Structure 1
Amino acid sequence: MGDKTMKDPTKPASRQWFKMPHTYVILIFLVFVAAALTYVVPAGEFERAEDQATGKTLVVPNSYHEVDASPVSLVSIPKAIVHGLVDSADVVFFILIIGGTFEIISSTGTIEAITGRVAKNFANKGRWVIPIFIMLFSVAGFTMGMSTEVMVFVPIGIAVARALGFDALTGTAMVSLGAASGFTAGILNPFNVGLAQAIAEVPLFSGAWLRIILLLCLITVTSLYIVRYAGKVRSNPEKSLVGDLEKEVVTKELDLNKLPRMQLKHYLTLAVVIIGFATLIWGVSKKDWWMEELAALFLTMGVVSGFCAGYGPSRVASEFVKGAKAITYGALIIGFARGIMVVLDQGSVIDSIVYGLSTLVGELPGPVQVLGMYLFQNVMNIFITSGTGMAVTTMPIMVPLADLIGVTRQTTVLAFQLGDGFSNMILPTSSALMGSLAVSGIPYQKWVKFFWPLMCMWIVIGAVLMVIAHMIHY
């Protein structure tokens, strides 16, 4: 008895010692790691020239050269973080506007009325909603390259998931991972596959059959994974990885026989939302809209929705501020993560990392080189999170290397698109991921715990397809 009373008080302290740090702490630690790299990795850069075929500024192969070192000092780190916030201001303010807009729409009761009916219609087959959402958003991913923009749909996915007895993690996953699956497969995606193929000088969107197989594999594995998790949460809410978040949500037992009736204000608000999202799809696909235009669109949607619900200007403003305030924590994460890239760029080490890794791939044994290219692109996505940016940086280097070691250019494009897509859903520097988590309120640590097993499955699928592609001279 005496020994037990001596040991028990130490257990809580032990758990606290290993407690995962705050997300901001993790990001600032990574900024310090990036700063340390500027002292260890030699500074260098490639020459760049405009490509007549694509109109993009590409890296000139074999042009790497060292430059004067410019290590980032300790006192410069706070400024680099602020610089990151400024650089990502468009995404940060976009997220704040999304939070305000959806708070206005949510306060009208429209989402509750609609999702209540979805729950009634799918009460006994709610899991089918998950693969439907995944397939729907995968189409947006492999056609118009939807990635960061998917965050605007996350609140809808969460509302539907909760109405069906699932949690916010399920709702976020079935939207964001659906888009990620499509973006990675990139069947007709002009922003990653299209550009990479243009640089590699292979026919635009050729080799689609293997990318379709990739998409089907990703949709199947992702659907089964999320359905399994959602089923456990529905059977036992204590199994939810975001149980604390769900407890914060004011929810009532949904009586399917006493659903809120759709009123005129709900129909008008729904019409505004539908028109708004239709305009979003048109603007992104036809007019090359990005954050500034999308933010303006959502700000308009929020104000008009409020007026349709009979709100006065002050009520609209009050609801907007309430929503923006609730999402500030997540929005600022984008800027902190951007600080990592700012430090690496100021230290002139990104090109050095690209050069070092590409050289290493060239020295690998023959049969392993294709997997080395695949690994190279995955690692480079840590440092260059933009698909377009990574294409114009890595493809001009990897294409000549592929010709030299006997790997087809189409396979080289496949390595690029897999590396550009898979890790976007786990990297804290990914605006697509961090934006979705900011909107949903899910802590980054909880997402990693949920997603890493699926991430491993994705990587294995990619490795198998890379070997097959190399064997058949894809």
Structure 2
Amino acid sequence: MSNIKEKSSTDTLKKRLKVPHVYVILLTVVAICAILTYIVPAGQYEMMESASGRTVVNPDSFQYIENTPVGLMDFLKAVPDGMVETASIIFFIFMVGGAFAVVEATGAIEAGIGKITMKMRGKERTIIPIIVIVFSLGGAVFGMAEETLPFIPIMVTLAIALGFDSLTGIGMVLAGAGAGFAGAFMNPFTVGVAQGIAELPLFSGMGYRIVGYVTMVTLVTVFLYRYAGRVKANPQLSSMYEVDINRDDVLDLDSLKELTTSRKLVLMTVVGTICLLIFGVINYGWYIQEIAALFMGMAIVAALAGRLGFNGFAENLLNGFANLAGGALVVGFARAILVVLTKGHILDTILYSSSNLLLQLPSAVSAVGMYVFQCLLNFIVPSGSGQAAVSIPILAPLSDLVGVTRQTAVLAYQFGDGISNIFTPTSGYFMAGLALAKIPWQKWARWILPLILLQYLTAGILVFIAHSINYGPF
């Protein structure tokens, strides 16, 4: 009888401690930001064109302006406005998800991953560091972020087939690329832009950045390797266990589909598409629109090669769209935060007040303070180049005044911008990745938080050391 009471009280406690839905969390943050527009004075910086031709903030131009508080109607319009501003990302998620639903319907991915799984028996975990390093190099060298999305459904299916879980699968991709992005040694979209604005030699200080890169990648690899081993030994330890065993794309290793000629053609189409994606991104600067078009083409060719027929193509494409609707639309909810801060003209005020606070601190504390500031700023301005454009013009001259090298200020920006990209629900591509993997943000957040906190602490130490060694050239 007492056991029944204990179980009942435990269930009641779990219900009370239930994490709110991500839509509720984001709407709450939007509401708080709307209230702040009535409290925080409105202000703005003027924009100017830098020597390199980029549009950046003029650090000496801040002025307070008449308050523009966000009313009820503007608050309610923030989400629709956010949907409009992020429409390309939202439809990109639909396109990638729909395309892979078509590919999965051919049975090619199941047959191909089945072959890999059989060959990896007994040495499954050795694939983790390989995949993490590959994706981390993508993040470190050319800022791989949205480009990770097509790989997520494949890696989730592979991880589950190898005896791990969907968290391991998406972790190899997102955490791997994220480690490279945070510890980037030559990412043109973060390091390149920030150094250009700070008037530093392009990609200078690479030696120390490589140390940061290796450190971040090592943390991710060890975290995933240990976790995957525990889940392999006891699958029920995974918070995604119930979801994973009920997935449509789980492989039954006792009845694998045959890798027929048509399925080989489908797999060749997928591999060819990914090669084209990498080639187009590096050589022609392809972004969301071009990549979405590429995957639409992949879906059409895969349907023909896999003999799905025209109706089969359309039906599976639509199923893929439907399965991702909730996750795709969360991107618009996240963007609503920035919409409210911008409409209320308090984002620049927050920047100005933060920079004034840093002026009052000792130089060693200021260096770490810049890092903390960038970490917080990334929750509301998740774009790497966008964050550089609004913060580096302020922090670069500020670093001269407080005795911190500009190179250290750029490093603080780099770490602050990169780490939370795979944690904050305001990060569009990250939320898109969770949607593709069918993983709720709440489960991901609880799982990844220890790694994120460790990365934050490690990066803070690296910034402090950079200041101590007068990391330069200046």
2: CA distance, partners of 1:151 / 1:444: 16
Matched letter for residue 140 of structure 1: G
Q: Percent identity?
A: 40
C-alpha separation in 2, matches of 1:458 and 1:339: 28
For the structure 1 residues 378 and 277, does the alpha-carbon distance in structure 2 shift closer, same or farther, using more than 3 Å as the test? same
Counterpart CA distance in 2 for 1:454 and 1:470 is 24
**Partners of 1:462 and 1:378 in 2: how far apart?**
11
How large is the Cα RMSD of the aligned pairs? 1.6
Q: What residue identity is the alignment partner of 2:35?
A: A
Amino acid across the alignment from 2:319: K
Quote the residue 1:230 is aligned against: 228
How far off its partner does 1:15 sit?
2.6
Q: 1:7 to 1:308 in 2, by over 3 A?
A: closer
Alignment partner of 1:359: what SS?
helix
Residue 120 of structure 2: aligned partner: 122
Aligned with 2:174 (options 146, 159, 176): 176
The amino acid of 1:21's aligned partner reads P
1:27 counterpart = 2:26: yes
Answer whether contact 1:330 1:435 (CA < 8 A) is retained: yes
Report Cα offsets for 1:300-324 as digits up to 9, x if no partner. Answer: 1111100111121111001100111
Query: Deviations for 1:327-365, whole angstroms, at most 9, x for unmatched residues?
Result: 111101111111111111111111111111111111112
* Alignment pair present for 1:77 and 2:75: yes
Deviation at 1:52, TM superposition (A): 2.7
Residues 4-63 of structure 1: per-residue CA shift (max 9 Å, x gap): 88787555333312211112111111111111121121110111111132x111111121
Matches of 2:59 and 2:189, distance apart in 1? 22
Name which of 232, 255, 274 aligns with 2:271. Answer: 274
Structure 1 residue 174 displacement after superposition = 0.4
Partner of 2:343: 346
Match of 1:447?
Answer: 444
Distance in 1, Cα, partners of 2:422 & 2:39: 28
Q: Is the 8 A contact 2:102 2:303 kept in 1?
A: yes
Q: Deviations over 1:150-209 (max 9, x none)?
A: 111111111210110111111000011111111112211100000111111111011111
Change (3 A) 1:44 1:163: same
Cα 1:6/1:111, change in 2 over 3 Å: closer
Q: Distance in 2 between matches of 1:304 and 1:122?
A: 30
Tell me the secondary structure at the aligned position of residue 68 of structure 2: coil
- Say which is worse superposed, 274-283 or 12-21, in terms of deviation: 12-21
Secondary structure in structure 2 of the residue aligned to 1:383: coil
Q: Does 1:314 align with 2:321?
A: no
Contact persistence 1:131–1:219 (CA under 8 A): no
Poorly superposed stretches of 4+, deviation over 2 Å? 3-15, 250-253, 258-261
Give the 3 Å change call, closer, same or farther, for CA 7–318 of structure 1 in structure 2. closer
CA distance in 1, matches of 2:91, 2:371: 35
Correspondence 1:91-170 to 2 at 5 A: 91-170=89-168
1:406 aligns with 2:416: no
Q: Partner amino acid for 1:13?
A: T
The equivalent of 1:431 in structure 2 is 428
Whether the 8 Å CA contact 2:43–2:346 is kept in 1: the answer is: yes
- The alpha carbon displacement at 1:112 in A equals 1.0
The residue type paired with residue 438 of structure 1 is A
Match of 2:243 in 1: 245
CA distance in 2, matches of 1:144, 1:456: 25
Partner of 1:328: 325
* Aligned mates of 1:370, 1:12 — CA distance in 2: 46
Runs of at least 5 residues in structure 1 that lack an aligned partner in the other structure:
none
TM-score, with length taken from structure 2: 0.96
Give the deviation of 1:272 after TM superposition.
1.0
Question: Alignment length, in residue pairs?
Answer: 470
TM-score (norm 1): 0.96
In the alignment, is the contact (CA less than 8 A) between 2:153 and 2:436 conserved in 1? yes
Contact 1:118–1:163 (CA under 8 A) maintained in structure 2: no
